[in-house]
């Protein structure tokens, strides 16, 4: 069996996040086997080659903040996409109690 790279693991995990849910950068890093690599997950999202397969807009900061997005008008577009999918917000932050997805 071929060994997956960190980036491949990250993309596989993020591809599974359902509409209306989010995961944090740190959460994705842990699931990819590299706890503490939240910034590296952010770089993977920045370099995401296909947002239709890997919905990078569904990855948020550990406090629910919308940090960075390279599509459209940046964070504004990210929020619009999340709202259109039914993600719950508390002010400018995603309500993680309502919208965070965990793989069980």
| End-to-end alpha carbon distance in the chain | 24
Q: Which residues contact 58 (CB under 8 A, 6 or more apart)?
A: 14, 17, 21, 22, 23, 82, 85, 87
44, 56, 59, 94: the catalytic one is: 56
Burial 57-74 (b: 16+ CB within 10 A, else e): bbbbbeebebebbeeeee
As given in the structure block, the two tokens for residue 35 are: 């706890």
Query: Residue 56 catalytic?
Result: yes
Catalytic residues: 56
């Amino acid at each position: 069996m071929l060994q997956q790279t960190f980036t491949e693991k990250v993309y596989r995990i993020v591809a599974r996040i359902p509409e209306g849910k989010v995961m944090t950068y740190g959460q994705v890093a842990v699931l990819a086997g590299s706890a503490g690599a939240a910034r590296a997950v952010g770089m993977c999202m920045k370099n995401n080659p296909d947002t239709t397969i890997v919905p990078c807009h569904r990855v948020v900061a550990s406090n629910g903040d919308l940090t960075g997005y390279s599509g459209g008008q940046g964070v504004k577009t990210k929020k619009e996409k999340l709202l259109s999918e039914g993600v719950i917000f508390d002010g400018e932050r995603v309500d993680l109690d309502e919208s965070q997805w965990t793989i069980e």
